Chains A and B, each alone.
Chain A
Amino acid sequence: DAGVTQSPTHLIKTRGQQVTLRCSPKSGHDTVSWYQQALGQGPQFIFQYYEEEERQRGNFPDRFSGHQYPNYSSELNVNALLLGDSALYLCASSLVAGPTYEQYFGPGTRLTVT
C-alpha cells in the first residue's frame, strides 16, 4: 500500500521564479493538505483540498495556490518566489476532512530559493 508521495525531492529556484510541487495521496484518501516547514520550526498549514476545492486556507499570501485533480492528487504552486519561501513543503492526506482521521505525511520537497 503506497503511502503519500511527493515530487521532486529537492528543488533549487531563483528569486522571482515560479515552482510547482506535486503530491499523490495515500491510496483511498481524498483529502490533501499542504504545510510549509521552515528550518528549525514546526509545520505551518497552507491550505487543504477536498473534492477538488480549497476548503480552508492558512495565513499565506495569494502567491501560494493549489489544485486537486479528480484522482485526488494535488499540486502546490508558488509564484514570485522569495528567499523566505525556502523550506520543506509537506503534503498530508487523510480519508475525509475532519479530526478523527489522522493525516499521513509524505517525505516532503525541500525548496531552496537563491
Chain B
Amino acid sequence: AQKVTQAQTEISVVEKEDVTLDCVYETRDTTYYLFWYKQPPSGELVFLIRRNSFDEQNEISGRYSWNFQKSTSSFNFTITASQVVDSAVYFCALNGLSGGYNKLIFGAGTRLAVHP
C-alpha cells in the first residue's frame, strides 16, 4: 500500500523565518514520483515540484528547497525567509507503479500561516 504522512497539521511563523514542512511516504514500488502542491484559499492546487525515486539530488528554486532522502523515506520542503504570500495549505503526494502512475496519493496537508 502507498501512504503519505504529513505529521505537522499547522505551522505558524513570523515573516522572514525559515520553515520546513515534513513529508514521510510509504511505498513498495522501486520506481515512484513525489510531488509538492500548494493550495491557497482559492482552492486550486498549484504544482511546485516533482522528484523521481532515482534522483536524490536536493533542489533549490528561489526561496524554496527540497530534501529527498530515500533512506528515511522523506521528502521535506523548506521555505527560506517566509513571506505572507506563502500562507497556504501544502500537500505532499506520491505516484507509483503499483498505482498505475495514474493517481496521486496525497498527505493530509500542512497549513502554513505566515504572520507579518
- Residues of A that sit less than 8 Å from B by CB: 33, 35, 40-45, 48, 55-56, 58, 88, 90, 92, 97-100, 102-108, 110
Q: What's the nearest-Cβ distance from chain B to residue A36, in Å?
A: 11
**Which residues of A lie under 8 Å from residue B4 when comparing CB positions?**
42
In angstroms, Cα B9 to Cα A33, docked, is 26
Residue of chain B at shortest CB distance from A88: B43
Are A42 and B44 touching (Cβ within 8 A)?
A: no
Are A108 and B43 touching (Cβ within 8 A)?
A: yes
- Residues of B that sit less than 8 Å from A by CB: 4, 32-33, 35, 37, 42-47, 50, 52, 91, 93, 95, 99-109
Residue of chain B at shortest CB distance from A94: B102
Are B101 and A105 touching (Cβ within 8 A)?
A: no
**Which residues of A lie under 8 Å from residue B109 when comparing CB positions?**
41-42
Residue of chain A at shortest CB distance from B103: A45
Are B103 and A48 touching (Cβ within 8 A)?
A: yes
**Which residues of B lie under 8 Å from residue A100 when comparing CB positions?**
33
CB-CB under 8 A for A90 and B102, given A42-B91, A42-B107: no
Are A103 and B42 touching (Cβ within 8 A)?
A: no
